[in-house]
């Protein structure tokens, strides 16, 4: 397989055409939709042109998945797992090249991209382990000589819609549990970052996945996404992305009563009590805010610090932020790279300017970098905002960038009230040495994920799902696996007698 490092210098070369073809029914084909320029965030240069799939190609991908799924489901799970582990091996073999491709199209630092590719392989390995332990139940019957079985069956065809912030890992996050449970998949990478998914299709082909089992097609959400989420032959739509897109998917899926699993936005509160380990809290807050340039759903979106340590925390946080290296994301020692696009950069800039115009103060940063490490990219200065109300717009709207508002609070009750304000409920953080406070935080903060005295990210064997506007269902672990299976109840009578299962009130 030909990947970037074999074809170009570190900065500015074109992406080979091999990464720009759609993968439908086991064949690489030119997209029949409009051409799309793929822009490198660090330089603003066009590094590839991808012809989107057409609606008809999207429908062909669904048909291919539907045709391939029954034979895949009929295989022993251990056979499915063997192919999944081969995919994992190939991802690890080509990890350096795949990581560089993530950097080129998405902009995250190389060391984070390497972690993303390792995560992609880990998803395949972890879910392959369920081959010998897919769940099922045997229950006693109300009658002698009878049992009640609750079996798991694959849902069928899965449409997986992937965001731009983790263009490689999230493909495997959706694909791995789908495959081990016997489903077929149509993957739509985000239109800004399609290259990683299309490159990984080569590995899926090399691993020997059956034709049509996994299809990877690219294009805009309002074109290709509409086809996938409205199709009657799609049995599950799993998507990570924004709340408006999630609502649109649910509306489309409702027409066919298609199941959905949505991991949507977040506005994580990072609560620091006065008894916390201050250095641990500061370093964790910095890590949680600035990983992937703040473009992660569980990022520290608002930092709440108890008043007695507020000034000390801000001072240490600013110093730690200023120590981070902003640089070319292909450099191995870079900590913060560019935003993914001009549109995203402008959005964050507008949010910061609005906050400043309403009385917030930028301790550091406050706008775009004046001397970026590379010309032409989408660079935003890491920004720390203070002196704003806890109910300011920037405290409620997802920033998704290298900007953190820090506000003081007096009591734990105040912190919980601020944390629960707004419509999001994905993640939250609590730093304290007091066990009672920890338990109350776990009980009272309205989120699907709580991190205690540590930063993220989440673990593959946990469960990543949000409350409120942050989504329905979710990913990872045994509970994420359940999303990809249906239940089938079987009443097995081996008594040789006729049974009539009367309801309890009729007995």
Start-end of H helices in 181-294: 195-207, 226-230, 243-254, 278-290
Angle between helices 77-93 and 195-207 (to 10 degrees): 130
Which one, of 173, 19, 171, 47, lies nearest residue 107 by Cα?
47
Kind of pairing, strands 137-140 and 46-51?
unpaired
Is 297 a catalytic site residue? yes
Peptide bond into 457 cis (omega under 30): yes
Distances (CA, A) of 283 to 318, 362, 368, 496: 11, 20, 24, 68
Cα-based torsion angle of the residue sequence 78, 79, 84, 89 in order, rounded to the nearest 10 degrees: 100
Contact, 176 vs 123, CB < 8 A?
Answer: yes
Query: Buried (b) or exposed (e) across 111-120, using 16+ Cβ within 10 A?
Result: ebbbbbbebb
Choice among 263, 398, 449, 482 that is catalytic: 263
* Residue 217: partners with Cβ closer than 8 Å, 6 or more residues away: 22, 23, 24, 31, 53, 57, 58, 61, 186, 187, 188, 224
- Give one word for 12, left, alpha or beta, with left for phi > 0 and alpha for psi -120 to 50: left
d(CA 126, CA 475): 13
Strand partners, 304: 271, 407
d(CA 192, CA 103): 13
What DSSP string describes 358-406?
TT-EEEE--SB-SS-SSTTS--B--EEEES--TTSGGGTS---SSEEEE
Supply 415's token pair.
């912190």
Choice among 172, 293, 297, 299 that is catalytic: 297
Q: Residue 43, Cα to own-chain centre: how many angstroms? A: 25
Query: Buried (b) or exposed (e) across 128-163, using 16+ Cβ within 10 A?
Result: bebbeeeeeeeeeeeeeebebeeebebbbbbbbbbb
d(CA 444, CA 460): 25
Neighbours of 499 (CB within 10 A): 14
Is 263 a catalytic site residue? yes
Strand partners, 158: 185, 236
> What is the three-class DSSP state of 54?
coil
* Residue 247: partners with Cβ closer than 8 Å, 6 or more residues away: none
> What is the three-class DSSP state of 61?
helix
d(CA 213, CA 204): 10
Positions annotated as catalytic residues are 263, 297
């Amino acid at each position: 397989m030909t990947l970037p490092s074999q074809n170009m210098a570190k900065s500015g070369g074109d992406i080979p055409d091999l990464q720009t073809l759609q993968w439908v029914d086991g064949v690489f084909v030119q997209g029949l939709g409009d051409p799309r320029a793929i822009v490198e965030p660090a330089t603003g240069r066009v590094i590839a042109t991808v012809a989107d799939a057409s609606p008809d190609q999207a429908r062909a991908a669904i048909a291919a998945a539907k045709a391939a799924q029954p034979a895949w489901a009929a295989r022993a799970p251990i056979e499915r797992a063997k192919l999944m582990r081969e995919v994992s091996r190939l991802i690890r073999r080509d990890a350096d090249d795949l990581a560089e491709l993530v950097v080129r199209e998405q902009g995250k630092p190389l060391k984070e991209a390497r972690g993303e590719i390792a995560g992609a392989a880990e998803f395949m390995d972890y879910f392959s382990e369920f081959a010998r332990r897919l769940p099922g139940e045997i229950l006693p019957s109300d009658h002698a000589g009878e049992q009640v079985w609750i079996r798991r069956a694959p849902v069928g065809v899965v449409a997986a819609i992937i965001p731009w912030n983790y263009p490689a890992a999230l493909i495997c996050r959706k694909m791995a549990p789908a495959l081990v449970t016997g489903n077929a998949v149509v993957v739509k990478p985000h239109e800004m970052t399609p290259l990683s998914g299309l490159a990984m299709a080569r590995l899926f082909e090399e691993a020997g996945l059956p034709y049509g089992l996994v299809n990877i097609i690219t294009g805009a959400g309002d074109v290709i996404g509409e086809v996938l989420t409205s199709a009657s032959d799609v049995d599950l739509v799993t998507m990570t992305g924004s709340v408006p897109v999630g609502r649109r998917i649910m509306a489309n899926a409702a027409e066919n009563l298609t199941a959905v699993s949505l991991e949507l936005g977040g506005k994580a509160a990072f609560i620091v009590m006065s008894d916390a380990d201050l250095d641990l809290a500061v370093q964790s807050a910095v890590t949680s805010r600035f990983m992937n340039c703040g473009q992660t759903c569980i990022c520290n979106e608002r930092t709440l610090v108890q008043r007695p340590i507020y000034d000390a925390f801000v001072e240490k946080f600013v110093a730690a932020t200023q120590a981070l290296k902003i640089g070319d994301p292909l450099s191995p020692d870079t900590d913060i790279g560019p935003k993914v696009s001009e549109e995203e950069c402008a959005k964050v800039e507008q949010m910061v300017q609005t906050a400043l115009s309403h009385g917030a103060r930028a301790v550091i940063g406050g706008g775009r970098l004046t001397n970026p490490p590379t010309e032409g990219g989408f660079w935003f200065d890491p920004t720390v905002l203070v002196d704003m109300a806890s109910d300011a717009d920037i405290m409620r709207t997802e920033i998704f960038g290298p900007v953190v508002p820090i506000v003081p609070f007096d009591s734990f009750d105040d912190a919980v009230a601020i944390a629960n304000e707004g419509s999001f409920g994905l993640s939250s953080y609590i730093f304290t040495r007091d066990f009672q406070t920890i338990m109350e935080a776990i009980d009272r903060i309205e989120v699907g994920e709580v991190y205690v005295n540590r930063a993220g990210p989440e673990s593959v064997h946990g469960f990543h799902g949000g409350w409120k506007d942050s989504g329905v269902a979710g990913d990872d672990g045994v509970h994420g696996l359940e999303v990809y299976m249906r239940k089938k109840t079987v009443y097995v009578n081996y008594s040789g007698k006729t049974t009539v299962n009367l309801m309890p009130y009729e007995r």
